[in-house]
Amino acid sequence: MDRLRTFIRRLRPRGPGSAPHRAFILLPALTVLILAVLWVTILMRLRVEKEAVLHDARVAAGTVASALDTHTLKTIHDVDAIALLVKYGLESSPETFDLKKYQAYGLITADTALQVTIAGADGHVVASTIPFSGAIDLSDRKHFRVHREHADVGLFLSDPVIGRISRQWSIQATRRINRPDGSFGGVVIVSENPAWLTDGFYTTAALGEHGMIAVLSNRGSMLSRRAGEAPSRTGDTLPTGYIDPHRNGETFTDPIDHVERIVASREVKRYGLTVMAGLSLAETLDDYYRMRRVYVTMASVISAILVGLSTWIAALILKLLKGREQLHRLAHTDRLTGLSNRGCIMDLLEEAVAAPDAVGRVAVIFVDLDRFKELNDTFGHQLGDTILADIARRLRDAAQGRAQVGRLGGDEFLVVIDDGAVSAPAIADAITAALEVPVSVHGNAYHVRASLGIAVLQAGERAADLVKTADHVMYDAKERGRASYTPPVRSALVA
User: Which positions are catalytic?
Assistant: 411
Contact between 263 and 247 (Cβ < 8 Å): yes
Q: Is 28 left (phi over 0), alpha (psi -120 to 50) or beta?
A: alpha
Maximum distance among all Cα pairs of the chain, rounded to whole angstroms: 162
Q: Which backbone phi and psi does 159 adopt, to 5 degrees? A: -70, 160
Nearest-angstrom CA–CA distance, 315 and 313: 5
Distance CA 72, CA 273 (A): 9
Which residues, 6 or more positions from 13, have their beta carbon under 8 angstroms from its beta carbon? Answer: 324, 325, 328
Q: In whole angstroms, what separates CA 455 from the centre of its chain?
A: 68
Instruction: Please enumerate in sequence order all residues whose Cβ is within 8 A of that of 355, keeping only pairs 6 or more positions apart, or say none.
Output: 3, 361, 362
- Alpha-carbon distance of 272 to 158, in angstroms, equals 10
> Residue 447: how many CB atoms within 10 A of its CB?
13
Q: How many CB atoms lie within 10 A of CB 286?
A: 13
User: In whole angstroms, what is the distance from residue 173 CA to residue 192 CA?
Assistant: 7
Neighbours of 25 (CB within 10 A): 13
Q: Answer whether 471's CB lies under 8 Å from 453's CB.
A: yes
CA distance 495 to 431: 12
Q: Which residues of 387-399 are buried (b: 16+ CB within 10 A; e: fewer)?
A: bbebbbebbbebb
DSSP string, 242-300: ---TT-EEEEEE-TTT--EEEEEEEEEGGGTEEEEEEEEHHHHTHHHHHHHHHHHHHHH
Output the CA torsion sign for 367, 481, 400, 447: positive
Q: Establish how many alpha carbons lie within 13 A of residue 63's alpha carbon, considering only the half-sphere containing its beta carbon.
A: 9
Q: Which long-range contacts (CB under 8 A, 24 or more apart) does 33-38 make?
A: 34/306, 35/303, 35/306, 35/307, 38/299, 38/302, 38/303, 38/306
Residue 473 burial by CB count (10 A; 0-12/13-18/19+): exposed, middle or buried?
buried
Q: Give me the count of residues in the chain.
A: 495
